[in-house]
C-alpha cells in the first residue's frame, strides 16, 4: 500500500491557513487551491490575467515538485471572482492546457474581493 506523501520544496508558496499545498498517494497528486500569492503566502493583487498567470505558475511549481506537470493533470477546479472574466479565462486556460484536456469544473462569484482567480487540481505522477 502506498504511503501518503507531502512533497514540498523550500520555495513552495505557503499558506497561513491549515492545509497542505500538495498531497501525493501513489501516482495520484492532489494540489490545493493555488492563487496569486508569493512564496510567503502574501496575496499579490493584479488584473485577472496577472492573477491567473501567477496562480498557474504556482501550480506548475507544485506539480513539478511532486513529479508531475500540466500534461498529467486529470481534473481541475477553477474559481472566478466574477463571471465577466469568463471569456479571458477560457483564452488563458487554453494557453496552459492542451488536448486531451483534463476534466474541469468552473465556478464564479465565489472568491469575495480578495482574489480574481484560484485553481486546484488532481494529477498523476509522470513515469520515469
Q: Which three cell numbers stand for residue 25?
A: 498517494
Question: Picking from 11-15, 23-27, 59-63, which range would have the lowest pLDDT averaged per residue?
Answer: 11-15
- H-helix or E-strand containing 30? strand 28-34
Residues whose CB is less than 8 angstroms from the CB of residue 47 and which lie 6 or more positions away in sequence, other chains included: 116
Measured CA to CA, the distance from residue 58 to residue 120 in angstroms comes to 11
Mean pLDDT score across all residues of the chain: 95
* Percent of the chain at pLDDT exceeding 70: 100
* 128 has pLDDT over 80: no
Q: Which of the four pLDDT bands, split at 50, 70 and 90, describes residue 112?
A: confident
Q: State the Cα–Cα distance between residues 103 and 14, nearest whole angstrom.
A: 26
**Which pLDDT band holds residue 65 (cuts at 50, 70, 90)?**
very high
- Distance between CA atoms of residues 20 and 92, nearest Å: 26
* Residue in this structure with the C-alpha cell 508558496, named with its chain if needed: 13
Helix (H, G, I), strand (E, B) or coil at 94: helix
Whole-prediction pTM value? 0.94
Nearest to 62 by CA among 32, 100, 86: 32
pLDDT exceeds cutoff 90 at 31 = yes
What is the SS3 assignment for 44?
Answer: coil
Find out if CATH 1.25.40.10 is the number for domain 4-124.
no
CA 86 from chain centre, in angstroms, equals 17
CA–chain centroid gap for 115, Å, is 14
Amino acid at each position: 500500500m502506498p504511503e501518503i506523501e507531502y512533497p514540498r520544496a523550500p520555495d513552495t508558496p505557503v499558506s497561513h491557513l491549515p492545509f497542505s499545498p500538495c498531497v501525493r498517494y501513489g501516482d495520484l497528486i492532489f494540489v490545493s487551491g493555488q492563487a496569486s500569492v508569493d512564496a510567503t503566502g502574501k496575496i499579490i493583487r493584479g488584473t485577472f490575467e496577472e492573477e491567473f498567470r501567477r496562480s498557474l505558475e504556482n501550480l506548475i511549481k507544485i506539480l513539478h515538485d511532486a513529479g508531475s506537470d500540466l500534461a498529467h493533470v486529470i481534473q481541475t477546479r477553477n474559481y472566478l471572482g466574477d463571471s465577466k472574466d469568463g471569456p479571458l479565462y477560457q483564452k488563458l486556460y487554453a494557453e496552459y492546457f492542451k488536448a486531451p484536456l483534463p476534466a474541469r469544473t468552473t465556478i464564479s462569484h465565489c472568491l469575495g474581493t480578495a482574489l480574481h482567480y484560484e485553481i486546484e487540481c488532481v494529477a498523476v505522477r509522470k513515469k520515469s
